[in-house]
A and B are shown apart, each in its own frame.
Chain A
Amino acid sequence: MKIIVLVKQVPEADKVAVNPETGTLIREGVASILNPFCEYALDEAVRLKEEYPEKEIEVIAISMGPPQAKSALMRCLELGADRAYLLSDRKFAGSDVWATSNALSLGVKKLVPDFDLILTGKQAIDGDTAQVPPETAEHLGIPQITYGVNTKIENKKIVVKRETEEGYQIVSTRLPALVTMSKGSNIRRMPSMKQILEARKKTLEIVSAEDIGADDTKVGLNASPTQVAKVFAPPEKGGGEIIDGREEPKLAAKKIFDFLIANNFI
């Protein structure tokens, strides 16, 4: 069985600031990391691999990005992926969500045509669009389940526990399918030194646009129907007030009560 995990390298979000004048991201001193939701997806793939040894699951990580995104794929290999591919080519530059999902689906078809399952993060913490995984599923013509927190494989089906605003749903679909993950295990994996060493002996290939048969009409800026008009930082939230209730809880409760009354909340 083959599970593909589609991943993205992102700047460590809580450290990124926006230059208020130019609207560009200030990237100095900010590390690039594997998108945390993608790590949940990878974690789930490795968990399935461990849980169903009889299925001889192979986990393949695929990303699209500049050459330095190799380090995000290396992290996937360290965490348990068996091989990895980076779609990297100047022709991909400027791709919006449509062109990106197009490139990814072409990559999947070319590199792992016999895949059984695709796992992705629900969204990337930089763009936050959550559109690339569903569009990729559409391009590939396979069913999709979003916001998964846990998966099980039953016969030729995937059973997904998914998060909704009201609670959890259990949904299943036939394979091949695409599932986006919104949560992972409480404690993230920690590779051993052995895994760090072995990851460097696994396949990590860079793949060009030509390799996957993508031309200018399908990928890159020209194939992108949307463009980012402006980037700006959200207004800062006020600091609020902390009422320490450890000494006199009744007094603290009274203060909160008065505040709620004064502001017409109750």
Chain B
Amino acid sequence: MTDNIIITETIEEVPLETIRVIEGEEEIRISHPGYLFDESKISGGHAEKIFFPKNEQEVATIIKKLNEEKIPVTISAARTGIVGSAVPLYGGVIISFEQLNSVKGIGYDEEEKRWFVRLEPNVTLSELNDVVKLKKFEENQSIPPEKNWVEKFKELNTYYYPIDPTETSAAIGGTIAANASGARSFRYGATREWVKRIRVVIPTGEILDIPRGKYRAKDGNFIIKTKEGEIKLVIPSYEMPKAKNAAGLYAKTDMDLIDLFIGSEGILGIITEAELWIKEYESHMSNVAFFDNEIDALHFVDLLRKKSTFKPEFIEFFDKNALTLLREKQEEDPKFVDMPTISKTVEAAISFDLPFDEETIETIISEVGDFLGQCNSSLENTWCGYEERERARFKHFRHAVPEIVNNLIAERKKTYPEIHKLGTDMSVTDEHLVDIMQFYHKKLEEAGLEYVIWGHIGDNHVHVNILPRNMEDLEQGKLLYKKFAKKAVEFGGSVSAEHGIGKIKHEYLLIMYGEENVDQMRQVKLSIDPNCILNPGNIFDIEVKK
């Protein structure tokens, strides 16, 4: 039976003074400056205290206290986000999740017939995969203990957690709060689909234990029964784009309560524990195919998506300019790219991973050969590798473009310190892929800007990186960015397919949903967090009531 009413768990408070804390804005700036930044590199972060809770009980104690005193709090884990979600722009308190970093156990869901791992939020993606792949579980870590799942799990083939948002030092809690995705979402979906259960601390200092499937919306709302009364959460009425999307709150009439918290960027509650599905590892081969023009490459993407009898893990794109950057880097430092020289005649490349085994490999390659032939390319023009260390070379190759771009921008910053990369994160629906690509190229060429386009083309989600050479370019680029956002929305897409909104993309959320709909999100926030203490500034601005 599903229900739209959830009852909170209360936790016995601990004396606040027993929790480790660093105090003083100046002290934090000097001794713990890392906590004031994340990968967005935005400045302005400041805080009066950093708490280091050891467990959920301590987190709940701190949150309750802060709520009573109406002090804003920013959660800090791996700080790998790139939209500033972990930057404490509103001051107040930082809660560091450093000590919430243990993998608690493993279980098997007999109904779903799937394995899952229970863990604390600051376990990183690479730690999780290390534990799962090498089966580093103690006998007493079976969930529940009497089932002896650990022993059974150890007899199985290799398992892993398939969500791969590139940065493997990201903390699991952050990836859930951001609904992280990355290239492999083409096959596996985003983080959302891999979350079985979460425990969330809400501003009252109480806990919500939310397994997927137990709480579903009724009449457009959820009811949280707390110790003091009831909180009614009215689900926003907007329709989310059909394309890949990480912008704003998840909202659907009959939605699961767990989905409201996943991707909510920490503005509704703080995740203190999660259970994630894991899956059996399959062998894959990594490939990069080259094309003499972009239209052929896009046609190949279409064939892979619609006609292939096997399902690629991901389909990634490099435009002509990205390949030129790589080729120039190869001339200067071949080891950096660590791949054969890229031919000067190619104008687009598609990187794709395919599951395979020795029985199927010949059929698969023949099929790919047929598709390539239809797109004026060939098997001869396609790199292929399947050993782990070879696949690592492909992964490195895919990541080389953003790395070269970042280095280039860092160099230009020396002359123009204000310059930064303008990187889009927009998606569209399948039928608009060719249109949006043509729109991007046309506008960028007209403006005479330097740019590269690369990314997750399987999900119609490419990153346009504008590389300003001076301040004029930067201003022009910003105007184009807005035009692109409007066009992506027109094409049924999202202004942020995977990075989220955080503190730096509020205006694009408005382009996508409009003031009224964003206000509906604000109402959800105000219902559960009336003092606006949780991660203020994420998704939208909220005046902090001090």
Instruction: Give chain A's interface residues, CB within 8 Å of chain B.
Output: 12, 28-29, 31, 33, 75, 186-197, 200
Contacts and interface: CB of A to CB of B under 8 A. Distances in A.
B339 interface: yes
A194 B380 contact: yes
A29 B133 contact: yes
Contact of A193 (B339, B382, B387, B388): B382
B362 A197 contact: yes
5 cross-chain pairs, A with B, having the tightest CB-CB distances, nearest first: A194-B379, A193-B379, A193-B384, A193-B382, A197-B365
Nearest to A199: B361
B530 interface: no
Given A12-B389, A193-B382, 14 more contacts: A12-B388, A28-B134, A29-B133, A31-B389, A186-B334, A188-B338, A190-B383, A190-B385, A191-B385, A192-B381, A194-B379, A194-B382, A196-B285, A197-B366
A196 B361 contact: yes
A41 B423 CA distance: 44
A172 B335 CA distance: 31
6 contacts: A28-B134, A29-B134, A186-B334, A190-B384, A194-B378, A197-B379
A29 B158 contact: yes
A75 B285 CA distance: 13
Nearest to A187: B334
A85 B339 CA distance: 29
Contacts of B15: none
A28 B379 CA distance: 34
A192 B361 contact: no
B369 A33 contact: no
A36 to B, nearest CB: 9
Nearest to A195: B384
Contacts of A31: 387-389
Contacts of B362: 197, 200
A190 B287 CA distance: 10
Given A33-B387, A193-B379, A187 B133 contact: no
Interface in B328-356: 334-335, 338-340
A200 B285 CA distance: 15
A192 B334 contact: no
A188 B368 CA distance: 24
A189 B340 CA distance: 7
A28 B131 CA distance: 12
A189 B390 CA distance: 10
Interface in B67-86: none
A194 B287 CA distance: 12
A82 B335 CA distance: 28
A188 B385 CA distance: 12
B393 interface: yes
Nearest to B394: A190
A192 B384 contact: yes
Contacts of B361: 196-197, 200
Nearest to A191: B384
A52 B386 CA distance: 30
Contacts of B389: 12, 31, 33
B400 to A, nearest CB: 13
A196 to B, nearest CB: 5
B382 A192 contact: yes
A180 B100 CA distance: 52
A75 B384 CA distance: 12
Contacts of A75: 387
B384 A196 contact: yes
Nearest to A72: B387
Contacts of B384: 190-193, 195-196
The residue among A12, A31, A190, A194 with the most chain B CB atoms within 10 A of its own CB is: A190
A86 to B, nearest CB: 15
A147 to B, nearest CB: 22
B134 A193 contact: no
A8 to B, nearest CB: 15
A161 B466 CA distance: 48
B380 A187 contact: no
B126 to A, nearest CB: 13
A12 B135 CA distance: 19
Contact of B340 (A12, A29, A187, A196): A187
Given A29-B133, A75-B387, A200-B362, A190 B368 contact: no
A54 B133 CA distance: 50
A190 B382 contact: no
B169 to A, nearest CB: 19
Nearest to B338: A187
The residue among A29, A33, A191, A196 with the most chain B CB atoms within 10 A of its own CB is: A196
A75 B380 CA distance: 17
A192 B383 contact: yes
A192 B135 CA distance: 34
Interface in B5-23: none
Contacts of A191: 383-385
A152 B154 CA distance: 52
Contacts of A29: 133-134, 158
Nearest to A192: B380
Contacts of B369: 193-194, 197
A245 to B, nearest CB: 18
B151 to A, nearest CB: 16
A190 B382 CA distance: 10
A150 B212 CA distance: 61
A12 B390 CA distance: 12
A52 to B, nearest CB: 22
A202 to B, nearest CB: 13
Contacts of B338: 187-188
B182 to A, nearest CB: 22
Interface in B266-296: 285, 287
A261 B285 CA distance: 54
A190 B366 CA distance: 19
Contacts of B380: 192-194
B379 A192 contact: yes
B366 to A, nearest CB: 7
Given A196-B361, A197-B379, A186 B387 contact: no
